[in-house]
Amino acid sequence: MPTAFDVLALTSHVRIELDDSLSAADQAAITAHWADVAHDADGEPTRVLTAGVRADSDPVDGSLQVSANSPEALAQRITSQVTLEAIRGLRGEALMLHAAAVALDDGRVVGFVGPSGRGKTTVARELGRVFGYVTDETLALRADGSVLPYPKPLSIVTPSGVKATEPASAFALKGLPPAELELAAIVLLDRRPEVAEPYFEAVSMLDALPELVAQSSFLFELDRPLGTLIETIRSTGGVRRVVYSEAASIPTLIDDLLASRDETAPVVMDVASLTQRGCDCSGKVLDEDEGPAAEDRPDAYWRGTFVDAMIFDDALVVLASGRLMVLAGVGPALWLAADGLDQAELKAAVRRDLPAPPAEVDVDEVISEALGDLLDAKLLVRS
């Protein structure tokens, strides 16, 4: 007989309907996985997932039907689909990182960021016995720094290599404190089996950004994604990296980690308001009757489509084409000057704005190579 239950995944109300391809025992087990996020409020769900065991183990693209060839595999797919619905529900509204997170009694949250296989679930399971369990997969942050909990079922790799789904309560993880949850630290996970004692170290903002961008969801749909990420880093005192062998050793570092602050913050300047052509994004778009026309400037260079851009000391960080790119050397000067200038004018601008190079450096060759690289990366376009 089919059964259904509702869960609250971040802000999304999801209904999971289990069909009669599952035994009553399997239905009860999957329902129990979601006990910690069960939702019994009135109202219709934002999504309904229909799930069952099928001979074809791959879900149909574009549908909300979830299938697998065994109850265990189905439980994993349900978890993945519910999480996807959860992050879709917050796209453009929250900064979401692929992270495990725990909360102290006063509401301070520590997020442990890492790709799949880096140990997030193990960290959540071990630290969740000492601190409140927030999530093992998706850390969602509102613009004010508040954290939305998502204490989803944990996916544990068994000795046979198959993942088993278990609720947090199965591991006696602590519940959330009554205090408001607020992010206090961002930590990059770095597991090294040879490390005898765990330790943490500061990570420069410029080094941390590529890792954080790679471990985010729908980042590019935020109004100011790069600015939002930078403000989050600043508000938590900088990014740290925990180097460890066993997750059970990390709790001893938490007090010192929270007390540490990165005092080497770079000088940051927002340049996202610079003009660009043909882009419906946060930078200003040049209309046909605004600024120099492309047809009037043959072989001129222009900034291409970008989502966000910031200067860090002497480097330039640009979010564009679905990725983060860091420019150094002559790259920032060329990108900033490329507003309808031809190559000769760009070279003159770079010579004017940058210190004189060593005598043995062929400036023209360096600039020509850099222009080629910027064109290849689509950071510049040429009329």
Q: How many CB atoms lie within 10 A of CB 234?
A: 13
pLDDT digits (tens, 9 = 90+) for 127-179: 999 999 999 999 999 988 899 999 999 988 777 667 789 998 889 999 999 99
Query: What is the average pLDDT score of the chain?
Result: 88
List Cβ neighbours of 358 (8 Å cut-off, separation of 6 or more): none
Average pLDDT over residues 202-220: 94
pLDDT above 60: residue 88: yes
Band of residue 181 on the pLDDT scale cut at 50, 70, 90: very high
Does 266 score more than 70 pLDDT?
yes
pLDDT at 61: 44
**Region 372-381: what's the mean pLDDT?**
94
Q: Poorest-confidence range of 5-9, 160-164, 229-233, 342-346?
A: 160-164
pLDDT at 279 exceeding the cut of 60: no
Alpha-carbon radius of gyration of the chain: 25
pLDDT digits (tens, 9 = 90+) for 6-18: 999 999 999 999 9
Rounded Cα–Cα distance for residues 167 and 194 (Å):
31
Band of the pLDDT at 245, cuts 50, 70, 90? very high
Alpha-carbon span 357 to 367, nearest angstrom? 12
Q: What is the C-alpha end-to-end distance of the chain, expressed in Å?
A: 65
Q: Please tell me the predicted confidence (pLDDT) of residue 55.
A: 66
* Structure tokens, 54: 């099928």
Which residue carries 């600039």 as its tokens?
Answer: 367
What amino acid occupies position 229? L
Flag whether pLDDT at 263 surpasses 80.
no
Q: How far apart are CA 208 and CA 152, in angstroms?
A: 27
| 3 state DSSP class of 95 | strand
Confidence of residue 295 (pLDDT cuts 50, 70, 90): low
d(CA 220, CA 260): 30
Q: Which amino acid is at 5?
A: F
CB contact burial 249-279 (16+ within 10 A = b; e otherwise): bbeebbeebbebebeeeeebeebbeeebbeb
* Tens digit of each residue's pLDDT (9 = 90 or more) over 50-87: 999 986 545 444 458 898 989 999 999 999 999 999 99
pLDDT higher at 280 or 382: 382
pTM value? 0.87
Q: Which residues contact 142 (CB under 8 A, 6 or more apart)?
A: 93, 94, 148
Give CA–CA dist 137/100, Å, rounded: 5
